[in-house]
Structure 1
Amino acid sequence: MSLTSHLQELKRKHQTLAEEVEQAQRAPGVDDLAISALKKQKLRLKEEIERLS
């Protein structure tokens, strides 16, 4: 896998997580711990994207 395609995949995953976080924050039954875990995953992806860019 080339660096460019790897970065594109990481960005796609980051966007997917961003959407999941947004949906979870709107849902009344989702606990804060689950939202926090999603945000941490999203942050790790963002850091990896920045590191590789």
Structure 2
Amino acid sequence: MSLSSHVQELKRKHKTLSDQVETAQRAPASDGLELVHLKKQKLKLKEEIERLSS
């Protein structure tokens, strides 16, 4: 897998997590711990994307 395709895959995963976070935030009975976990995963992906892109 080339670097650019790896970064694209990470961006796709980041977008998926963003959608999951938005859905969880709108749900009235969302699990706060799950939301924190999703946000941490999203941040790790963002940091990895930035590291690989620079």
Q: How far is 1:27 from its partner?
A: 0.4
Name stretches of at least 5 consecutive residues in structure 1 with no aligned partner.
none
Q: How far is 1:29 from its partner?
A: 1.4
Q: How far is 1:31 from its partner?
A: 1.5
| Aligned-CA RMSD value | 0.5
Distance, in Å, in 2 between the alignment partners of 1:13 and 1:34 is 17
1:1-53 map, 5 Å:
1-53=1-53
Distance, in Å, in 2 between the alignment partners of 1:31 and 1:14 is 20
What's the TM-score once normalised by structure 2's chain length?
0.95
- Percent same amino acid among aligned pairs? 72
What's the TM-score once normalised by structure 1's chain length?
0.97
Distance, in Å, in 2 between the alignment partners of 1:14 and 1:34 is 16
Name stretches of at least 5 consecutive residues in structure 2 with no aligned partner.
none
Q: How far is 1:44 from its partner?
A: 0.2
Amino acid at match of 1:20: Q
